[in-house]
Amino acid sequence: MNTPTKQQKKLVRLISAFSDMCGSVEAANLLLKGVPEELHGHLFLSMVVCYGRPFTENYGVGRIQCDYPNYPDSADAEMRDRHARLLDLRNKFLAHSSAEGTRVQIVPPGVANPIGKAVQANFTFNMGKRTFGETYFVEWLRVAPETFKKRLYLDIEQLLQNTFSAQSGLTAPFELSTGHEDFRWT
High-pLDDT (> 70) share of the chain, %? 99
Spatial contact of 68 and 152, defined as CB atoms under 8 Å apart? no
Question: Distance between CA atoms of 90 and 95, rounded to whole angstroms?
Answer: 5
Question: Distance between CA atoms of 20 and 45, rounded to whole angstroms?
Answer: 13
Write down the pLDDT at residue 98.
Answer: 74
Whole-number average pLDDT of the chain: 89
Write down the pLDDT at residue 67.
Answer: 93
Q: Where are the domains of the chain?
A: 6-100+131-164
List Cα–Cα distances, 148 to 123, 125, 126, 133, 156, in angstroms: 48, 42, 39, 23, 12
Q: What is the pTM of this model?
A: 0.84
Per-residue pLDDT of 38-94, as tens digits, reads 898 899 999 999 999 999 887 777 889 989 999 999 889 999 999 999 999 998 888
Spatial contact of 34 and 65, defined as CB atoms under 8 Å apart? no
Strand partners for 102: 129
Per-residue pLDDT of 144-178, as tens digits, reads 999 999 999 999 999 999 888 878 788 888 888 77
